[in-house]
Amino acid sequence: MYINEIPFLVTMSRSIHFCTAEFIKNEKSVTIATAIKQVLQIYHRRGFKVQKLHGDGQLEHIKKHFVDDAITINITGRNKHMPAIERTIRTIKERIQAMVNQLPFNAFPHRLIVEMVYNVTFWLNAFPHNDSVHELMRPCTILTGLHIDNNKHCTLEFGSYVQIHEEHDNSMSSYTSGAIAL
């Protein structure tokens, strides 16, 4: 997925509907394989064994990095895409567009866009999916053990202007500095 020419690797599990979006610095096979292995570690930590990866033609060149693993990589035909991933990408982009339109900024630095993507995927995983393996458990709870706490996760809206506490002495300098909540 690309947002303002910034590349991301998007994954989605079929049964749990856990979505990830990993920022990648380039599209080299080593970079993409490393990002996929980081996602696989999330599953392995919770006791899941990933046996198949389905992807489009862009993932053809990463097969060599998974020769030692017991993972089958299925690549779609030429000019074909994975419908579940395409729908997830569209959802991520629509939600980011909604965020961009409510923020009071004219320009968006690279880091802010990356954090928007992470924020959107966090909230996509925060609610149970209709077709999930468990009707009440959230994908983030199943795969990371994270439970959403309103007091922790819902206190600030993304992009809000906040004042953060700074170390200070007894001088008349400011005790806080401005920041944007990510």
Q: How many domains does the chain have?
A: 1
pTM of the entire predicted model: 0.84
- Each as own residue / partner, the long-range contacts of residues 101-107 (CB below 8 Å, 24 or more positions apart, any chain) are 102/159, 103/159, 104/159, 105/159
Q: What's the confidence (pLDDT) of residue 120?
A: 95
Q: What's the confidence (pLDDT) of residue 149?
A: 84
Q: In degrees, to the nearest 5, what angle opens at C-alpha 55 toward C-alphas 73 and 62?
A: 60
Is 29 in contact with 62 (CB distance < 8 Å)? yes
158 in a structural domain:
no
Q: What is the DSSP letter of 9?
A: E
Q: What's the confidence (pLDDT) of residue 133?
A: 67
Q: What's the confidence (pLDDT) of residue 61?
A: 85
Main-chain phi, psi angles of 18, to 5 degrees: -85, 125
- Range(s) of the domain holding residue 91: 2-150
162 in a structural domain:
no
179 in a structural domain:
no
- Which CATH number belongs to the domain containing residue 12 in this structure? 3.30.420.10
29 in a structural domain:
yes
All residue ranges of the chain with pLDDT < 70 are 132-133
108 in a structural domain:
yes
Nearest in space to 95 (alpha carbons), one of 19, 15, 152, 171: 19
164 in a structural domain:
no
